[in-house]
Amino acid sequence: MSTLSSKHSFTNPTAATVVFLFFAAKLSTILAGSPHDINFRSPNLFPEGLAWDPTGQHFLVGSLRHRTISEVSDAGVVQTLISDPSLPENVTILGLAVDSLNNRVLAAVHAQAPIPPLNALAAYDLRSGHRLFLSALPSAEGDHERAIANDVAVDFKGNAYVTNSAGNYIWKVNEKGEASIFSNSAKFTEHPGIIGEMYSSCGLNGVVYNGKGYLLVVQSNTGKMFKVDADDGMARLVLLNEDLMAADGVALRSDDVVLVVSSKRVWMVKSNDGWSQGVVFDKIDLDDEGFPTSIVVGERERAYVLHGRVMEGILGNSAESFKIEEVRFPRESEGENVWMYVMVGIGLAYFLFWRFQMKQLLNNMNKKIN
C-alpha cells in the first residue's frame, strides 16, 4: 500500500506528459537513427557504379581503372570480390546490377580512349567470383560515336538491359549472355540535349527494371525519363513537371518511388498512373565534392548515394577515401514524425487512463481497508 501511495506525484498529468514527450523524442531518434555515412578507403578505386547485394548484405562498387568489383560493408570495410585481369588494362567497370535469381552480378564494361574500344556486359558468380560470360555489345548501323555502355538493370528472368549513353539506345543481354540491340526508339533523340555542359555528350544513362514489365530510363543531357516496354522495347516519354538535368543513376523503391541522382542532387519522383506521368515530390541538394553518380535502395528501403570522385580520377588525380551516403527526404521525414506523435499521443492517453483506473482502485481498496 505505502509503495503505491508514494508514487502519488506521478499521477500529476503535467509530469506524465513531460515524461512521455521525453520518451517520444528518444524513441523517434532510436527508430529512425541519424543518416548513416559509410566512409571507405581504397587507393585510386574511383567507383562509379553502386549496387546492393541483399544476400551478402553489403554494397558492391566498380572502379574507373582497376578491373574490380569490391564489397563495401556497413562499417566501411572494403574487400575485392572480383578481380578480372583478363579484361584490357585500365578498362572501366561502370553500372552494376545484382541478379538475385541467378546469384550473379552484372557489370557494364567500357574502355575509354585511348584504350581500344570495348563495350561489354560481364556476368560473375556472386559466391565464387568466377566470370560466367563477357558479351560484346554490338554497334548499331550509323553509329558514328564510340558507344558507352553505362548502366545496367536486370529483370526477374535474368535478362540485362544496358544503356548506351553515346548512341542513345538500349542493349539487351539474355541470361545466356546473348546480346542484341533492344530499343533504339526515335523518342530517345526527339529532344535536343543541352549544349556546353560537362554531361552534354551523355544521353541515356541510369536504368531500372520496374517489376511490372517495363524499364525506366533517364537521359542526362535532356533531363528526360522514358518508360520502355521490357518485351518489345517500345519507348514513351514520361511526362514530368520538371527536367532532371544531368540525371545519372536511378533506383526504385518497393513502393514504386523512383530516386534519381545527379552530381548535385537527388530527386524523389512519384507516379500514380503507372509512369505515364510523374511528379518530383521532393529533392535534396548533395555535396558535389565527391561527384555522386549512383543511387541504390538498401536494407529497410533506405537510399544511398555513392561519392566515388570519378571526375578526379578521370583528370588523373589520386584519391583514397570514398563515401556511401544515406539520403533522407525532408518531406517524408515530416510525415514520419507526425505518425510518431500520433502514436505517442495514443500511448499517453492510455497511460493517463491507466493512472486514473489505478487511482480509483486505490481509493476503493483504501475504503475497504478502512
Q: By the criterion CB under 6 A, which residues form the site for ligand NAG? A: 89-90, 115
- Smallest gap from Cβ 111 to ligand NAG, in A, equals 9
- Compare residues 196 and 316 and give the one whose CB is closer to ligand NAG: 316
Peptide bond into 114 cis (omega under 30): yes
What does the DSSP assignment read for 222-252? Answer: T--EEEEETTT--EEEEEESS--TT--EEEE
Which residue in the block uniquely carries the three cell numbers 570495410?
Answer: 77
- Smallest gap from Cβ 90 to ligand NAG, in A, equals 4
CA distance 197 to 113: 20
CA distance 46 to 343: 44
- Compare residues 90 and 201 and give the one whose CB is closer to ligand NAG: 90
Residue closest to 295 by CA, chosen among 48, 88, 120, 32 = 48
Residue closest to 96 by CA, chosen among 87, 86, 109 = 109
The dihedral over CA atoms of 219, 332, 37, 224, expressed in degrees to the nearest 10, equals 0
- Smallest gap from Cβ 83 to ligand NAG, in A, equals 16
CA distance 206 to 208: 7
- Compare residues 84 and 99 and give the one whose CB is closer to ligand NAG: 84
- Using CB positions, name the residue nearest to ligand NAG: 90
- Compare residues 89 and 285 and give the one whose CB is closer to ligand NAG: 89
Q: What is the DSSP letter of 211?
A: T
59: enclosing H helix or E strand: strand 58-61
Q: Where are the alpha helices (DSSP H) in the chain?
A: 2-6, 13-32, 310-314, 330-369
- Smallest gap from Cβ 115 to ligand NAG, in A, equals 5
**What does the chain come to in residues?**
370
- Compare residues 39 and 90 and give the one whose CB is closer to ligand NAG: 90
- Compare residues 319 and 358 and give the one whose CB is closer to ligand NAG: 319
- Smallest gap from Cβ 312 to ligand NAG, in A, equals 13
- Smallest gap from Cβ 89 to ligand NAG, in A, equals 4
- Smallest gap from Cβ 114 to ligand NAG, in A, equals 6
CA distance 301 to 225: 22
- Compare residues 42 and 184 and give the one whose CB is closer to ligand NAG: 42
